[in-house]
Every structure is written in C-alpha cells, then in structure tokens.
Chains A and B, each alone.
Chain A
Amino acid sequence: MSPVIGVLAIQGDVREHARCLEQLDVDVRLVKTAEQLKGIAGLVIPGGESTTMSILAVKNNLFGPLRELRTQIPMYGSCAGLIMLADAISDGRADQETIGGLNITAKRNAFGRQVDSFEIDLHIPAIGEPDYHAVFIRAPLVEAASSAVEVLAAIPADKSLTGTDQVVAVRQGNLMATSFHPEITSDLRIHKYFVDMVRSA
C-alpha cells in the first residue's frame, strides 16, 4: 500500500511538491488543519514565506500537533520549510515560532533579497551522481548545526563569496531540510530520498 504523505498547504509551493510526490507513487494529502494531519506517514513543508507560514500556523493552532508529530513521522522542509524545522532562527522576527527538531540555526534570507536569488549545481553524495541543479530563492542558510546533524550538501568555499562552506541541506534522524527548492525542477532525487525515508520509517 502506498503511504500517505501530507503537504502543509498554508501557503507557497504546495502544488509543485504534490506533483513531485505523485510521480513517486505515494498518495498525497494537502493539510490545512490539525484534523488532516491524522494518519499521514510523512509531511512536506513547502517553500513559501516563513514569516507568513509561522503566523498562520499560530492562528490556526497547528504548532502543537506539528511538534507532537515531528517525533513520530519523517518531515522534509524546503526553504521556508527548513526555517520551520530549525530549533533557532537568526534574522527573523523575534517572535517567529517554529516546529523545531533540527538542532540548527537557520539564517533567513542569508544570500540577500530577491535580486540575489540564484541557481547552482551542487554535489550531494546522498543522492549520487550527477550534480544536482539547485534553485535558491530568498533562501535561508544553515548557519550553525550541532554534531547530531548530518550535512547532506554545502556550497563549497571556492564557490561561495563568504569563502567558507555554506550548508544548504541537512538531515537529523527523521527530519531533513534543504535551503533550495527541488519542487520547481524536474529532478526528483531529493523527493525520492525523502519518500525512501518515509517507506523505511
């Protein structure tokens, strides 16, 4: 039986994530309420605007159930979703709430504003060759991570203007997150990696 994977449908790239998952033979459910979280085997938190997503999750009483669920099922967050899964945020609103679970500090809009959004090829050993074409839009960065966090991908120092590795994809147990947006490219390897996590959970 195909597992049901939820996509948090408050706002953002919901449709694109759903389309990617459907191509991998899972059943997709769009989730806007606590009720709809029941029975899912995994949850994707899409790209979007993390401030808005967080404010609306508070208003719709979703943080409680989401925090409870994060210890039970795999979750994957892209861009705003990475911020939602981070234990700490820098450069966000002081009152911005997150689901947490990933022992990282996420830096919001780490690369600048929209004019600085970019595309780049990344080496990601966990999904194999060839390099993955990653799209970053007002993207966050993993500024700090505890030793429990596995780095899946980084922009290497020689390609980043900071002169240091910039961590852009991480995993810790059942939780994974990327700064970039696999849902708006046709390469399904990131989603497949997550679906495999769900199937083996």
Chain B
Amino acid sequence: MATDAASTGVTGTTRVKRGMADMLKGGVIMDVVNVEQAKIAEDAGAIAVMALERVPADIRAQGGVARMSDPTMIDEIIQAVSIPVMAKARIGHFVEAQVIQSLGVDYIDESEVLTPADYINHIDKWAFTVPFVCGATNLGEALRRINEGAAMIRSKGEAGTGDVSNATGHIRTIKGEIRRLSSMSKDELYVAAKELQAPYDLVCEVAEKGALPVVLFTAGGIATPADAAMMMQLGADGVFVGSGIFKSGDPIKRANAIVQATLHFDNPDEIAKASRGLGEAMVGINVADIPVPHRLAERGW
C-alpha cells in the first residue's frame, strides 16, 4: 500500500520494491541467529542478513514446527548492523508478514524453510509496502510468485544440507526455461504459459527480455567459496548462504571467503586464494539421503 513517508513521494511501488533487490546484486546474504553473527556477516562484506531463530540445518536436526522469529531478536539485529535486514515468514502466513513489516525489516522471505501455514495459498504480497523474496525450483513457480507480488526470486536448492546439487539444478532449470521461452515464436507462448502454469503476460515479458522481471538469487546448500562462484557463473545475481557459514569450523574466515569468491566469481585465482585454509566445512547431508517428505524445496506450489 502506498503511504506517505519522509517526503510526499510515493512509497511501496513495484519500482522501489524491485529496485531494492537490484541494489543487492553481486552480494551475499547470510543467515544469522544473533547480533554477534550479524556483525561478523557485516564485517565480512555481506550485503544483507537474514534474521532467524534457527538456521536450516538446526531446523532439520531438531524437527518440530518452525515459525517466524521473536520480534525482539529481529529488533536487536536491526539495531546492530547498518546493512539491510531480512526476516522469514511462513508460506501463506500473512499475519507473520504484517508483524515483520511493522518491525521495519527491509525484505520479507516467504520461506519454505519454515513450516508452511497454508498449503494452498501464498501471501498476497501486493498488499504490503515491504518487498518480498520467494523461493522457486522452476520458472513456472517463480512467475506465480512474481504474479503474487514477489519483488525478488531465489532458487530454492535444499536448505540446511551443504549439498549444492539442488541449487545447481534449480538455477539451471530456471535459466534453461527462460532461454527456451526466448527462442519461441509468439504464437507458441500461449501454450508455454499453460504448461508453466504461469500468467501469459509475465511469460511474454520473460520471453522478450530473456530474463526474469526481478532479481534472481540462488540458495540452498551453498557451503564453499567455489559453490558461491559456481552459482554466479550459472547466472545468479547473488547468493544466500544459510547454515554454510555459521555451521562451519571458522565462520569469520568462511564468511569473508565466500564474499570474496562471489565478487571475483569469474577469476579462478581469486577463488583459489579464498578457498585456502578455511577449516572444516559444514558436515552436510546428501540430498539423496533425505526422505522425500522432509525435502524443503518441495514446499510451495
């Protein structure tokens, strides 16, 4: 909703929401669970932090229902850093989103990492002034989220695993489907829209631009500098790193290294330099070993 703020300009427009994500391009967004981690992330050169109570690896290990974080904890992180702060709401939980907006976070992640609150509907994101990022495993899912008002997309990967294979699969799928649309003749786009289960107008826009109308980050299983650089080379605009940093042996070193590798993603010498002496990576779980009902990427519809 457009409201007056510090000037009589118009707030909450699609342009300022999508533009905010544009400013994050080329950056690393790190999951943090407290002020200390948020400061480590900022010092390492993270472009933003995601404030949450448990990183995905712990949500996986501990089980139970995962929900929005305590507002006090989000407030403390907002106070502690000068970079943007994001927070997660459950899929479809529009009241958690209202609460997070009222705290003044800069971006809401409607996230499959938390337990969904609605197995049919996602949040109507147009109703908010704060912008949203949503996960997607393929182009159709990405366009449905954009149609609901998402101003940024992240490919999902499989959060909390340290196994990058699903992140690779999802970004390749999304990029590949975009290329396929671009090569189609105009009269084929009607059926393409039907097959993607996505709005025709958005399908046409993607076909013409050869890109999503919003920024595309990648997430889920990124644990090393080389993982991050690979995502960038595959065409991501930036990366989310969740458990990969603070579940590793030396978070400060690893946070710095992943940021450097993302910046110099096309320079193997720099990636090599960033990869030296980082200590233990997060232990990790192979996605193939996770029974299907426990795979987070399959949440969202």
A residues apposed to B, CB below 8 Å = 9-16, 32, 47-49, 51-52, 55-56, 59-60, 79-80, 91-93, 108-120, 135-138, 155, 159-162, 166, 181, 184
The answer to whether A51 touches B82, judged by C-beta atoms less than 8 angstroms apart, is yes
CB-contacts of B17-32 with A (<8 A): 17, 19-20, 22-27
Which 6 A-B pairs give the minimum distances between C-beta atoms?
A118-B9, A120-B9, A114-B106, A116-B5, A117-B16, A111-B6
User: Could you say which residues of chain B place their CB within 8 Å of the CB of A13?
Assistant: 22-23, 25
Query: Would A80 and B23 be within 8 Å (CB), given that A52-B47, A118-B7, A118-B11 are in contact?
Result: yes
Q: Decide: B6 and A162 in contact? CB cutoff 8 A.
A: yes
B residues neighboring A (CB under 8 Å):
4-13, 15-17, 19-20, 22-27, 42-48, 82-84, 101, 104-107, 129-131, 256, 259-260, 263-264
Give the docked Cα–Cα distance between A16 and B25 (Å): 11
B130 to chain A, nearest CB (A): 5
Known A-B contacts A111-B5, A118-B9; A55 and B45 likewise in contact (beta carbons under 8 Å)? yes
Could you tell me if B20 and A117 are in contact, using CB atoms closer than 8 angstroms? yes
- Check if B48 sits within 8 Å of A113, measured CB to CB: no
User: Would you list 6 pairs from A and B whose C-beta atoms are within 8 A, ordered by A residue?
Assistant: A11-B26, A48-B25, A49-B47, A112-B6, A113-B105, A114-B16
B150 CB to closest chain A CB, in angstroms? 15
Where chain B touches its partner, the secondary structure class is loop
Q: A11-B25, A114-B107, A118-B16 are in contact. Are A59 and B260 (CB under 8 A)?
A: yes
Known: A119-B9, A119-B16, A159-B9. 15 other contacts (CB 8 A): A10-B263, A32-B263, A49-B48, A52-B83, A59-B260, A111-B6, A111-B7, A113-B105, A115-B101, A115-B129, A120-B10, A155-B9, A161-B7, A184-B19, A184-B22
Q: Is the CB of A118 within 8 A of B10?
A: yes
User: Which residues of the other chain, A, contact B45 by a CB distance below 8 angstroms?
Assistant: 52, 55-56, 59
Let me know if A11 and B47 touch, CB within 8 A: yes
Q: Which chain A residues border B260 with CB–CB below 8 Å?
A: 59
- B24 contacts across to A, CB distance below 8 A: 12, 48-49
The verdict on A11 contacting B5 (CB below 8 Å), with A119-B16, A137-B20, A138-B106 known, is no
Chain A residues positioned under 8 Å from B6 (CB to CB): 110-112, 116, 118, 160-162
Assembly CA distance A189 to B152 (angstroms) = 28
Interface of A is mostly: loop
With the chains together, A111 CA to B43 CA distance in Å? 24
Which one of A55, A119, A160 contacts B15 once the chains associate, using CB atoms below 8 Å?
A: A119
CB atoms of A56 and B259 under 8 A apart: yes
Q: How long is the Cα–Cα vector from A91 to B79 in the complex, in angstroms?
A: 12
Name the B residues within 8 Å of A59 (CB-CB): 45, 256, 260
Assess the B19–A117 pair: CB atoms within 8 A. yes
**A181 CA to B27 CA, complexed, in Å:** 18
A184 touches B15 (CB 8 A): yes
Q: Determine if A138 and B129 form an interchain contact, defined as CB atoms under 8 angstroms apart.
A: no
Partner of B11, one of A79, A117, A181: A117
- B residues less than 8 Å from A48 (CB atoms): 23-27, 47
Q: Chain B residues with Cβ under 8 A from A60's Cβ?
A: 263
The residues of A that contact B17 with a CB separation of less than 8 Å are 117
For A155, list chain B residues within 8 Å (CB). 7, 9
Q: Is the CB of B7 within 8 A of A114?
A: no
B131 lies within 8 A of A114 (CB): yes
A residues in contact with B104, CB < 8 Å:
113, 115
A92 vs B83: C-alpha distance when bound (angstroms)? 10
**Would B27 and A52 count as touching, CB distance under 8 A?**
yes
Evaluate whether A55 and B82 lie within 8 angstroms (CB atoms) in the complex, with A10-B26, A111-B7, A119-B13 already known.
no
Q: Are B15 and A51 in contact (CB under 8 A)?
A: no
Contacts of A10 in B (CB 8 A): 26, 263
Contact B15 A135 (CB under 8 A): yes
Complex CA gap A52/B82 in Å reads: 9
Contact residues in A for B105 (Cβ distance below 8 Å): 113-114
Please, which residue of chain A has its CB at the minimum distance from the CB of B237? A15
State whether A49 touches B9 (Cβ < 8 A).
Answer: no
> How far is A2 from B264 in the complex, measured between Cα atoms in Å?
28
What is the distance, in angstroms, from A59's C-beta to the closest C-beta of chain B?
A: 7
Which B-chain residue is minimally distant from A121 (CB atoms)? B9
Complex formed: what's the CA distance from A160 to B260 in Å? 40
Q: How far is the CB of B47 from chain A (nearest CB, A)?
A: 5
